[in-house]
Amino acid sequence: MEKNYHMTPGQFREEGKKLIDWIADYYEQVENYPVLSTVQPGDIRKQLPPQAPEKGEPFDAMMSDVNKLIMPGITHWQSPNFFAYFQSNTSGPSILGELLSAGLGVQGMLWATSPACTELESQVMDWLVDMMGLPAHFKTTASGGGVIQDTASNAALAALLAARERKTNFSSNLTGESSRLVAYVSTQTHSSVEKGIKVMGIGTNRLRKIEVDEHFAMRPEALENQLKKDMKNGFIPFFVCGTVGTTSSNAVDPLREIGEICKKYDVWFHVDAAMSGTAAVCPEFRSHFDGLQLADSYAFNPHKWMFTNFDCDCFYVADKAILIKTLSILPEYLKNEATEKGAVIDYRDWHVQLGRRFRALKLWFVIRHYGAEGLRYHIGEHIRLARELASWIKTSADFELLNEPPFNLVCFRHKASDEFNKKLMDRLNKSGRIYLTHTVLNGTFWLRMSIGQTQTKQEHVARAWELIREMAKQ
Ligand SMILES: *Cc1c(COP(=O)(O)O)cnc(C)c1O
């Protein structure tokens, strides 16, 4: 008889239903786990067999090991008491969209390899332009267009490459020559831009880190001075990154002023709003995005704050022809009629890698489940909770607030020493009841609380604040 080791559709149906139940149970009980995993390095691995199994095992055995071996090594990002780093939230519709994407298992590298994968993505990306008040020329139906990338880091890399090619009249792709190019970020810009500079071989000594003001926003006059100085010295400025919501403190760079400088000197202007960009669903926070019309590219992460599980970064360009010309490659084995006629989008030309998942499904499910109204409500609530926490901190005798939070990140510290704050943070995190992280700004240690997990409510923030004050007293 022919052998068959595959899971049958019947087994899949049965195990799949149990797994959905398992996930639903997990969400109901997530607050019972210590938020930060308490295992030591190597603890998980040493419990795993040294060799892969020779004989296949039943699915039950795997799930039993998930419970026993894997769960202790999980840090519970989806706990409403998770306030560390940045929010990285998900939701039911997103998880189901991800499952469906895996179920269909399509490769969306070309329009022809699954037309729905491309067309749904273009449509959802265009929807977001209207929903979030983004510049209309970002739409695929206009000069620009949007694409879902895996991460904001790779979106920045795509922007850097397109910027280089625009500046060198597409000669750098041909010759590799880029020796006089310089790029500009602020001291607070996310490290992914510096990594992109490394990856593309520009050399980090040609990345200028512009100083920031007292709110940690880039100083436009310092940018212009540096641009002029570099040009005088024979360098060629090609790329500036502005940020809406820096990772460290949620600072907002003055996009309009930076954008105008970029136009004046013909430099590509990329805006990174990976962490805070979702705030634009609420019209009342759009003033922070003033000047985005001047951007050549823009990225924000639904996988941080829009209830869409990792990975899902939305990347827009003002002129898609430049991006496509930069990254387009057409080997014989990918040639097809639809591409040749130029009637379709082939998203493999919009990022570094070839293969791509059907990520638009989960974003589509999320937007349709919540509606624009639901997203506005929950994002608005997160920001309201952050402001409320900030008001409690301001009225406390022992703690100080860094600044009024523009979005949902609250930076604060106990008025005692850095050492005290560090110890306080470690004790809070070891308690398992909440998880928060820190940053250092101007040499001072600050605690950070990012309020944006899907289930985080007033009671969680209030309890966290109570716990922080209690532990500080001890
Ligand atoms: C988190 C973050 C990034 C990196 O995001 P990835 O999608 O993980 O690459 C970039 N920029 C900012 C401002 C961020 O907060």
Which residues are CB-contacts of 339 (< 8 A; sequence separation ≥ 6)?
A: 110, 111, 112, 330, 346
Q: In this model, does residue 330 exceed pLDDT 90?
A: no
- Residue 329 confidence class, pLDDT cut points 50, 70, 90: confident
- Residue 333 confidence class, pLDDT cut points 50, 70, 90: confident
- Look at residue 179 in the predicted model and tell me its pLDDT: 87
Q: Is 153 helix (H, G, I), strand (E, B) or coil?
A: helix
Distance CA 295, CA 388 (A): 33
Residues 409-421: tens digit of each pLDDT: 999 999 999 999 9
* Ligand 1 centroid distance, CA of 303 (Å): 10
Residues 440-451: tens digit of each pLDDT: 999 999 999 999
Residues 36-82: tens digit of each pLDDT: 999 999 999 999 999 999 999 999 999 999 999 999 999 999 999 99
Atom in ligand 1 nearest the alpha carbon of residue 190 = 11
- Look at residue 401 in the predicted model and tell me its pLDDT: 97
Residues 109-167: tens digit of each pLDDT: 999 999 999 999 999 999 999 999 999 999 999 999 999 999 999 999 999 999 999 99
Return the bridge partners of 449, or none.
410
* Ligand 1 centroid distance, CA of 277 (Å): 11
Residue 301, ligand 1, Cβ within 6 A: yes
- Look at residue 343 in the predicted model and tell me its pLDDT: 83
Q: What is the mean pLDDT of the chain?
A: 96
Cα dihedral 214, 216, 219, 225 sign: positive
* Ligand 1 centroid distance, CA of 417 (Å): 30
- Look at residue 407 in the predicted model and tell me its pLDDT: 97
* Ligand 1 centroid distance, CA of 9 (Å): 39
Distance CA 413, CA 392 (A): 13
Q: Cβ(22)–Cβ(63) under 8 Å? A: yes
- What the block records as the tokens of 100 is 């469906």
Torsion angles phi and psi, residue 358, rounded to 5: -85, 70
CA-angle at 288, arms to 283 and 278, nearest 5°? 60
Atom in ligand 1 nearest the alpha carbon of residue 313 = 7
For the 97-365 domain, the top CATH level (class) is alpha beta
Q: Determine which residue's CA is closest to atom 8 belonging to ligand 1.
A: 151
- Look at residue 35 in the predicted model and tell me its pLDDT: 97
- Residue 463 confidence class, pLDDT cut points 50, 70, 90: very high
- Look at residue 278 in the predicted model and tell me its pLDDT: 98
Buried residues in 63-90 as b, exposed as e (16+ CB within 10 A) = eeeeeeeeeeebebbbbbbbbbbbbbbb
**Where are the chain's structural domains?**
9-32+37-74, 97-365, 376-473
Indicate the DSSP class of residue 7. Answer: P
User: In 3D, which of 300, 296, 290 has the Cα closest to residue 262?
Assistant: 296
- Look at residue 314 in the predicted model and tell me its pLDDT: 98
Give the CA radius of gyration of the chain: 24
Distance CA 243, CA 274 (A): 9
Atom in ligand 1 nearest the alpha carbon of residue 155 = 9
Buried residues in 250-265 as b, exposed as e (16+ CB within 10 A) = bbbbbbbbbbbbbeeb
User: In 3D, which of 472, 463, 343, 339 has the Cα closest to residue 397?
Assistant: 472
Q: In this model, does residue 342 exceed pLDDT 80?
A: no
- Look at residue 341 in the predicted model and tell me its pLDDT: 75
Residue 153, ligand 1, Cβ within 6 A: yes
Residue 250, ligand 1, Cβ within 6 A: no
Indicate the DSSP class of residue 190. Answer: -
- What the block records as the tokens of 14 is 């049965």
Residues 166-179: tens digit of each pLDDT: 999 999 999 988 88
Q: In this model, does residue 335 exceed pLDDT 90?
A: no
**CATH architecture for residues 376-473:** Alpha-Beta Complex (3.90)
Q: In this model, does residue 455 exceed pLDDT 80?
A: yes
Residue 253, ligand 1, Cβ within 6 A: no
Distance CA 368, CA 175 (A): 47
Q: How many CB atoms lie within 10 A of CB 335?
A: 11
* Mean pLDDT of the 281-293 span: 98
Residue 275, ligand 1, Cβ within 6 A: yes
Is there a shared CATH topology between the 9-32+37-74 domain and the 97-365 domain? no
Q: Is 333 helix (H, G, I), strand (E, B) or coil?
A: helix
Residue 272, ligand 1, Cβ within 6 A: yes
The 8 Å CB, 24+ separation contacts for 330-337 are 334/109, 334/110, 336/110, 336/112, 337/112
Q: Percent of the chain beyond pLDDT 70? A: 100
Which secondary structure element, helix H or strand E, spans residue 448, and what is its range? strand 444-450
Distance CA 217, CA 256 (A): 13
Q: In this model, does residue 208 exceed pLDDT 90?
A: yes
pTM of the model: 0.96
Residue 305, ligand 1, Cβ within 6 A: no
- Residue 334 confidence class, pLDDT cut points 50, 70, 90: confident
- Residue 1 confidence class, pLDDT cut points 50, 70, 90: confident
- Residue 331 confidence class, pLDDT cut points 50, 70, 90: confident
Mutate which of 197, 216, 272 for ligand 1 pocket (most atoms within 8 A of beta carbon): 272
Helices assigned H by DSSP within 270-405:
302-305, 320-327, 337-341, 360-395
Q: In this model, does residue 340 exceed pLDDT 80?
A: no
* Ligand 1 centroid distance, CA of 214 (Å): 23
**CATH architecture for residues 9-32+37-74:** Up-down Bundle (1.20)
Return the bridge partners of 409, or none.
450
